[in-house]
A and B are shown apart, each in its own frame.
Chain A
Amino acid sequence: MISKVISMVERMKDDDRLALEALFRSEPIADDGFSARVVRRIRRRILLRRLALPLALVVGLLIAFKPALQLLSALFGLVSVLPADLIQFPADALPQLSTLIVGGAVIAMVLFFIPALED
Chain B
Amino acid sequence: MRTDDAGEVDRYLVAQVVSKQDAGAFGELVRRHQSQVRNFLRKLTRDPELADDLAQDSFLHAWDKLHTYAGHGSFIGWLLKVAYTTFLQSKRRSNRYGEVLEALGHEQDVAASRVAALSDEVGDLDKFLAVLTEEERAVMILSYACGLSHREISDAAELPVGTVKSIIFRGKEKIRDSFDIESHQYG
Contacts and interface: CB of A to CB of B under 8 A. Distances in A.
Interface residues of A, number: 28
A41 B63 CA distance: 11
Q: Could you say which of A19, A31, A34, A36 has the most chain B C-beta atoms within 10 Å of its C-beta?
A: A34
Interface in A5-60: 12, 15-17, 19-26, 28-31, 34-39, 41-43, 45-46
Contacts of A22: 186-187
Instruction: Describe B's contact surface by its main secondary structure.
Output: helix
Contact of A25 (B21, B38, B145, B172): B145
Contact of B125 (A24, A28, A37): A24
A45 B63 CA distance: 10
A42 B21 CA distance: 10
A85 interface: no
A102 B31 CA distance: 49
Contacts of B128: 23
B23 A24 contact: no
A31 B7 CA distance: 20
Contacts, number: 84
Q: For chain B, which range describes its interface: under 10, 10 to 19, 20 to 34, or 35 or more residues?
A: 20 to 34
Contacts of A92: none
Interface in B15-43: 21, 23-24, 26-27, 30-31, 34-35, 38-39, 42-43
B141 interface: yes
A38 B43 CA distance: 21
A35 B27 contact: yes
A34 B185 contact: no
Contacts of A42: 23, 26, 60, 63
11 contacts: A15-B184, A19-B184, A20-B172, A21-B145, A22-B187, A24-B145, A29-B38, A34-B30, A34-B52, A35-B30, A39-B30
Interface of A: 12, 15-17, 19-26, 28-31, 34-39, 41-43, 45-46, 119
